[in-house]
Amino acid sequence: MTQSTTQTETHTSKKTRTLRDYAGLTLRGIAMGASDIVPGVSGGTMAFILGIYEELIDSIRMLGQPEFLQAAFKLRIKDALTILNWQFMLAVSLGIGIAILS
């Protein structure tokens, strides 16, 4: 199995999340953002403790993958967002933003 096949399976086999799940991700993002504000505490450490670190890193890593870049440059926005795991990223980013701006 090639690396691109593995990544394709990764983003196409994501579990279906409920609104409650996304609210939980947003709260985890708030915890990450709050920890980023405190000197000496890392949002990445908080993500690890809260159990979202691996998915966060995998989602960020997709930004540099040829599969994502091809979809983005060809303006296949829906495909690019699916590859990026945009719903997860939006929920966590929203939480981080809320914490930093509060």
CA diameter of the chain: 46
Confidence check: pLDDT of 9 > 70:
no
* For residue 31, pLDDT beyond 70: yes
Tokens encoding 7: 């990544």
SS3 at position 58:
helix
DSSP summary character for residue 41: -
Please report how the helices 86-101 and 77-84 are oriented relative to each other, as an axis angle in degrees rounded to 10: 70
Instruction: Say what the pLDDT of residue 14 is.
Output: 62
User: Residues 9, 12, 16, 22: is their CA dihedral positive or negative?
Assistant: positive
Neighbours of 90 (CB within 10 A): 16
Per-residue pLDDT, averaged over 55-65, amounts to 94
